[in-house]
Amino acid sequence: MERMRPFGTTIFAEMSELATRTGSVNLGQGFPDTDGPETMLRAAATAVTSGHNQYPPARGIPELRQAIADHQRHHWGLEYDPDSEILVTAGATEAIAASILALCETGDEVVCFEPYYDSYAASIALAGAVRRPVTLRPEHGRYVFDPDQLRAAFTKRTRLVLLNSPHNPTGKVFTRAELELIADLCVEYGAIAVTDEVYEHLVYSDAASPHLPLATLPGMKERTLRVSSAGKTFSCTGWKVGWVSGPPELVSAVLRVKQFLTFVNAAPLQPAVATALRSPDSYYVDLRNDLQQKRDLLCAGLTEAGFDVLVPEGTYFITADISPLGGTDGMEFCRSLPDRCGVVAIPAQVFYDTREAGQRLIRFTFCKQRPVLLEAVRRLRALT
């Protein structure tokens, strides 16, 4: 189909394949190299061997929907009815795709920030909708956007705003002032927000702002579909258990699409994720502290190797400018990095429509064990 022609193999698949083929340290695709909480793993094993292997209910098992509701109330003070306002999906990816497909007519416009997670562009294209990117650019070590560009992106065709905070790949955590501007424009133009909050628990102590779900701002809960998933929070990216929360009529619209994409998913993993969502606060604090130390280790190593490093406020990604190393094109740079030093990274340019803005930026993940990061840092020294 014409509108899918621009989409080749995802950069994550390409770069992970390159890492395997060359025996490189893979700091490209973002997946942890350790498993999530032991209680969650045991709950999954028990579910598999105790008859939780058939289709679960369309909206997800009640126990998981209740745990998702309790988790959002506890962490963000957001109230959702588990029976009508929460839907379990095959990862955040399906929640986002089904939301866009459910809500956009052909030609409707979707405002999103670039660089954007790669599935956004593909899902918008599948829906026959049009993306209206607003560019994030580094300024004094922090990614910011031009409020005028954001305002100009809204038109009478704007249907959705797709907001990812904490943001992949930049590590930006949107501040209250930035969110207020987005919220005001949503209200003014009657747009619905789809918020991708898969990194909701990965915000570091020196961030300019804590994580604030857009739905907590005045006037936003009734027009927001809030998306998250278990993958990042509980180190189980391969499980693909996600969820979307929002007003009943919007969630029902998403369900209408989701039922024909996957129908349902992950029966034995659903009770296990419910268990994980009930983890004590100390779990989230430990996860964050551990990752912050890894962030600092890799930031220092990348700086030493000669990159101009942008320290992320959240997520488990670091973006770095290759200019000080003489690099002019991130794609070329990443394709040659395995030969030069045995490390794999992701060129950020593929996440932009405005290629020039991301041309010299590449992304490294730090959700790996300390010895792996130390080995990567050792190898990267070969660049200088």
3-class SS at 379? helix
Number of Cβ atoms within 10 Å of the Cβ of 209: 17
Which ranges of 112-175 would DSSP assign to H, the alpha helix? 118-126, 147-153
Written as one string, the DSSP assignment of 289-357 is HHHHHHHHHHHHHHHHTT-EEE--SBSSEEEEE-GGGT---HHHHHHHHHHHHSEE-EEGGGG-SSHHH
362: its two tokens = 């590449």
Among residues 100, 32, 37, 94, the alpha carbon closest in space to that of 60 is found at: 94
Give 12 or 76: the residue with its C-beta nearer to ligand GLN. Answer: 12
The CB-of-242 to ligand PMP minimum distance in angstroms stands at: 4
189 binds ligand GLN (CB under 6 A): no
Inter-CA distances, 6 with 9, 12, 124, 189, 350, Å: 10, 16, 13, 30, 12
The CB-of-76 to ligand GLN minimum distance in angstroms stands at: 22
The CB-of-173 to ligand GLN minimum distance in angstroms stands at: 16
Number of Cβ atoms within 10 Å of the Cβ of 44: 23
The CB-of-208 to ligand PMP minimum distance in angstroms stands at: 19
Binding mask 146-185 for ligand GLN (x = CB under 6 A): ----------------------x-----------------
Buried b (16+ CB within 10 A) or exposed e, 270-289: bbbbbbbbebeeebeeebbe
Among 19, 26, 30, 91, binds ligand GLN (CB under 6 A): 30
Give 88 or 305: the residue with its C-beta nearer to ligand PMP. Answer: 88
Among 29, 99, 195, 319, binds ligand GLN (CB under 6 A): 29
Distance of alpha carbon 232 from alpha carbon 369, whole angstroms: 15
76 binds ligand GLN (CB under 6 A): no
Task: State the SS3 of 93-115.
Answer: HHHHHHHHHHHCCCCCEEEEEEC
93 binds ligand PMP (CB under 6 A): yes
3-class SS at 139? strand
Give 97 or 305: the residue with its C-beta nearer to ligand PMP. Answer: 97
279 binds, among ligand PMP, ligand GLN, none (CB under 5 to 8 A by kind): none
168 binds ligand PMP (CB under 6 A): yes
Stretch that binds ligand PMP, among 40-48, 88-96, 182-190, 257-265 (CB under 6 A): 88-96
240 binds, among ligand PMP, ligand GLN, none (CB under 5 to 8 A by kind): ligand PMP
164 binds ligand PMP (CB under 6 A): yes
Kindly give, in sequence order, each residue whose CB lies less than 8 Å from that of residue 272, ignoring residues fewer than 6 positions away: 40, 41, 43, 44, 47
The CB-of-227 to ligand GLN minimum distance in angstroms stands at: 13
Site residues for ligand PMP, 100-159, by CB under 6 A, read 117
229 binds ligand GLN (CB under 6 A): no
Size of the site for ligand PMP (CB under 6 A): 13
Give 28 or 271: the residue with its C-beta nearer to ligand GLN. Answer: 28
Give 131 or 363: the residue with its C-beta nearer to ligand GLN. Answer: 363
Inter-CA distances, 21 with 18, 67, 155, 338, Å: 5, 41, 46, 10
91 binds ligand PMP (CB under 6 A): yes
The CB-of-20 to ligand GLN minimum distance in angstroms stands at: 14
Site residues for ligand PMP, 173-232, by CB under 6 A, read 196, 198, 229, 231
Distance of alpha carbon 156 from alpha carbon 104, whole angstroms: 13
Distance of alpha carbon 94 from alpha carbon 225, whole angstroms: 13
Site residues for ligand PMP, 237-256, by CB under 6 A, read 237, 240, 242
| Chain residue at closest Cβ approach to ligand PMP | 91
92 binds, among ligand PMP, ligand GLN, none (CB under 5 to 8 A by kind): ligand PMP
Q: Is 227 exposed, middle or buried (0-12, 13-18, 19+ CB in 10 A)?
A: buried
- Yes or no: say if 252 and 76 are a contact pair by the CB < 8 Å rule: no
Give 93 or 158: the residue with its C-beta nearer to ligand GLN. Answer: 93
Contact residues toward ligand GLN (CB under 6 A) are 10, 12, 29-30, 168
